[in-house]
């Protein structure tokens, strides 16, 4: 019997038993849909995390120092000297001093953080100044009381105006606003727009200890990040002598770490979802065994008319594969739709990949064939005389 005839008989059998066929497919539909939803959402989440870190600069390296004594502490001049000695590796350097601050304009006040940085920081972090300018080298050298604010600070104190030249008090010290950054998020408290940048020399004075514990270093490109991390660690080992007192972390390594964690989590979730595929396969095998029992007389007649074992086996394997394949297609449609809806609800960019859909389809067909093999073998092995006598 031709394969086309086998497929025709399989389709006819499915539509003659619509409810039973649908319930048989249900396990495959749920399993395939679950796998596609999880893969799509995990890919969307991984891309979101990677993009977030990439915004911080893939060539960026954070250096945190907790020196055991003042004599072993690293000064800003040491980091700047390292950059000057390695121009082919290091492009930019900025100290980073965060000061918890009370900001006042008139009688209004809020509590936020002021961050002391160098004039290169806006380029390193791709900050866009919408009005005015960023911190300049002369501001740092002369410790001029100037600041650049985010749109949250602007909205809180100067709603509807552009306050270039206006003054705000940071921990009681008046600072002149020289720049306003472009809005990045929603201008709310705690968002990326809730920020104030001042010269790092001023921030060290506001912090009351005069010590800089954090630096941001930018490599010339991604290929040189590892080399820059190496020379920074070498310098810190010479100055401090104990790696327990400092950490050097690159954004690239953090992205790789997060991607690895997300991949592991995704694999675990997919493995859990795949259990429903196994259940679906068992359901197909169970129904096909029932079908063999119900069609015993039909099998006996076909064998008595000259059908070979391979013909009977082919028919039942194709029937099981067709049921599973149809369930897989439905699962792909349901899974893709749910993944898109989930992406909208979670504010993720979710697009079911062609690869995951292709794999899901092949897996569904494979499950049908694998779990349909035993019933098919049982059908092919029936004695035609016994089959004809079966009532």
Question: For a pLDDT cut of 70, what percent of the chain falls above it?
Answer: 88
Task: Give residue for tokens 């092995």.
Answer: 381
Stated length of the chain: 391
Pick the most confident of 61-70, 111-120, 336-345: 111-120
Task: Characterize 49-71 residue by residue with b for buried, 16 or more Cβ atoms within 10 angstroms of its Cβ, and e for exposed.
Answer: bbeebeeebbbbbbbebebeeee
Cβ atoms of residues 233 and 243 within 8 Å = yes
What pLDDT sits at residue 94?
93
What pLDDT sits at residue 3?
64
Residue 290 clears pLDDT 80, i.e. is over it: no
Cβ atoms of residues 20 and 179 within 8 Å = no
What pLDDT sits at residue 59?
85
Residue 344 clears pLDDT 70, i.e. is over it: yes
Residue 15 clears pLDDT 80, i.e. is over it: no
Q: Confidence band (pLDDT; 50, 70, 90) for 197?
A: very high
What pLDDT sits at residue 71?
64
Q: What is the mean pLDDT of the chain?
A: 83
Pick the most confident of 81-85, 185-189, 204-208: 81-85
Q: Which of 98-107, 208-217, 230-239, 255-264 has the lowest mean pLDDT?
A: 255-264
Give 165: exposed, middle or buried? Use CB within 10 Å, 0-12, 13-18, 19+: exposed
Is pLDDT larger for residue 171 or for residue 278? 171
Task: Give the pair of three-digit tokens for residue 294.
Answer: 């119900």
Pick the most confident of 47-61, 69-83, 218-232: 218-232
What pLDDT sits at residue 380?
66
What pLDDT sits at residue 390?
53
Bridge partners (DSSP) listed for residue 167: 176
């Amino acid at each position: 019997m031709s394969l086309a005839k086998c497929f025709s008989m399989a389709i006819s059998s499915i539509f003659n038993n619509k409810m039973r066929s649908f319930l048989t497919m249900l396990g495959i539909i749920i399993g395939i849909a679950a796998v596609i939803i999880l893969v799509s959402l995990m890919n969307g989440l991984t891309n979101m995390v990677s993009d977030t870190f990439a915004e911080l600069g893939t060539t960026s390296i954070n250096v945190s120092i907790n020196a055991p004594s003042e004599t072993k502490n690293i000064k800003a001049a040491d980091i700047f000297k390292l950059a000057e000695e390695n121009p082919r590796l290091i492009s930019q350097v900025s100290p980073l001093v965060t000061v918890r601050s009370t900001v006042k304009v008139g009688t209004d006040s809020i509590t936020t953080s002021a961050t002391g940085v160098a004039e290169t920081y806006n380029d390193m972090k791709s900050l866009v100044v919408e009005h005015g300018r960023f911190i300049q080298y002369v501001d740092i050298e002369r410790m001029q009381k100037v600041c650049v604010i985010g749109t949250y600070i602007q909205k809180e104190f100067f709603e509807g105006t552009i306050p270039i030249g206006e003054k705000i008090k940071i921990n009681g010290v008046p600072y002149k606003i020289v720049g306003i950054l472009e809005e990045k998020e929603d201008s709310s408290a705690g968002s990326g727009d809730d920020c104030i940048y001042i010269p790092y020399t001023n921030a060290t004075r506001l912090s009351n200890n005069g010590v800089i514990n954090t630096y941001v270093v930018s490599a010339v490109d991604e290929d040189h990040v590892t080399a820059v991390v190496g020379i920074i660690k070498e310098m810190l080992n010479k100055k401090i002598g104990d790696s327990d007192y400092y950490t050097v972390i690159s954004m690239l390594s953090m992205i790789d770490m997060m991607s690895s964690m997300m991949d592991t989590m995704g694999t675990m979730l997919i493995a859990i979802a795949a259990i429903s595929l196994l259940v679906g396969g068992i359901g197909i095998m169970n129904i096909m065994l029932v079908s063999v029992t119900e069609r015993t007389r039909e099998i006996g007649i076909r064998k008595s008319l000259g059908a070979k074992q391979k013909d009977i086996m082919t028919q039942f394997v194709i029937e099981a594969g067709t049921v599973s394949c149809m369930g897989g297609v439905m699962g792909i449609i349901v899974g893709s739709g749910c993944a898109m809806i989930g992406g909208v609800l979670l504010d993720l960019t979710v697009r079911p990949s062609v690869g995951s859909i292709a794999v899901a389809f092949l897996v569904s067909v494979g499950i049908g064939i694998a779990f349909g093999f035993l019933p098919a073998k049982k059908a092919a092995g029936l004695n035609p005389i016994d089959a004809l006598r079966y009532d």
